Amino acid sequence: MSWSGPGWRRVGAAVLVLGSGLVAASCSSGGGGSASGSSTSTSTTQAPPRVPTSATSTTTMGAGGSSTTTTGGTAGGVEPTLGVSGAFGAAGVGFGTVRPTEISLGGDPTGILTGITWQSWGGDRATGSGTSTYVAPGQSVAQGTQETATVVAYGLGTCKGVSAYQQVVWYFPQHHQTAADNGESPIEACAGP
């Protein structure tokens, strides 16, 4: 950022968030600021509180200062995982993690969901979308095609003492499927196959 004012010219600014939640800002100024033609000033202020990524935070600035309002999120700031690590053995992927970008059951391509983007996480149900292999009725897995799938993690509870979604399903709404189509055999994210 660069701007000029009476007696000095601002040529840059940097903001550093310190581990303690403090924000330090450093500005360089030139012109009439010092004998060397530049000076550095640093100020430190308290940063807003950290917010769990599933929550929404709004900071309002006014003449009396600022206030931060947080909505949503999970108790204690701990987000649930998708089941537990190892539920599908060493080949399983995404289990025991928060908002996995890939889920794999370690078997054929229909048990793999990649490129997952979660629209929600932390509530009773988490929903997102990714890419998996769609196999039409009467086709073999080899004839399947890579298509967008909707993923739903649900059954929020605990797995081995950890807050977790206990079941997950994915389906292809463009082929008139619903989560209920896979509901009779959900993937057990805590116990595995």
Better-scored residue on pLDDT, 163 or 76:
163
Q: Are residues 30 and 91 in the same domain?
A: no
Q: Are residues 103 and 183 in the same domain?
A: yes
99-112: pLDDT as tens digits: 999 999 998 999 99
In 3-state terms, what secondary structure has residue 154? strand
β-strands 81-82, 162-171 pairing: parallel
Cα dihedral 69, 71, 75, 78, rounded to 10, equals: -90
What residues make up the domain containing 158? 80-188
Residue 48 has pLDDT above 80, yes or no: no
Q: Indicate the residue type of 34.
A: S
Q: Report phi then psi at 33, rounded to 5.
A: -70, -40
Q: Indicate the residue type of 189.
A: A
Residue 26 has pLDDT above 50, yes or no: no
Q: Are residues 164 and 119 in the same domain?
A: yes
Q: Report phi then psi at 137, rounded to 5.
A: -55, 135
In this prediction, residue 20 carries a pLDDT of 35
